[in-house]
């Protein structure tokens, strides 16, 4: 699990492929769950997620709370699928 200092801006990225070919899903959603358990959803449709190229998306977030953060990318339609991961935010000395 990757670790970051509290307050760091972290880039969450998704590379979506179907049979090895970069593909855009019908909808793209990123969900984050902070250490307090609060879930926040971001969508490409509302311009909250950046599309870098076909099948490649990202969202930059400043993580202000120490602890374990979870994130989940979701795609629907022709490139349906999910991917989950976690990272740790450390309190730091400052």
Mean pLDDT over residues 54-70, rounded?
Answer: 97
Tell me the whole-structure pTM to 2 decimals.
0.92
Domain residues of the chain, as ranges? 1-37+67-94
d(CA 43, CA 9): 19
pLDDT for residue 94 is more than 80: no
Handedness of CA 18, 76, 26, 55 (dihedral sign): negative
Structure tokens at 89: 């935010």
In this prediction, residue 93 has a pLDDT band, given cuts at 50, 70 and 90, of: confident
Task: Collect all residues with Cβ–Cβ distance below 8 Å to 59 and sequence separation of at least 6.
Answer: 11, 12, 30, 42, 48, 49, 50
pLDDT digits (tens, 9 = 90+) for 27-45: 999 999 999 999 999 999 9
Q: State percent of the chain over pLDDT 70.
A: 100
């Amino acid at each position: 699990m990757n670790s970051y200092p509290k307050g760091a801006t972290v880039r969450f990225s998704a590379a979506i492929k179907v049979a090895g070919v970069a593909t855009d899903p019908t909808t793209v959603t990123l969900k984050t769950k902070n250490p307090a358990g609060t879930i926040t959803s971001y969508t490409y449709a509302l311009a909250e997620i950046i599309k870098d190229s076909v099948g490649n998306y990202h969202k930059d977030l400043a993580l202000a709370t120490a602890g374990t953060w979870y994130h989940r990318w979701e795609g629907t339609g022709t490139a349906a699928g999910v991917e989950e991961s976690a990272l740790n935010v450390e309190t730091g000395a400052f």
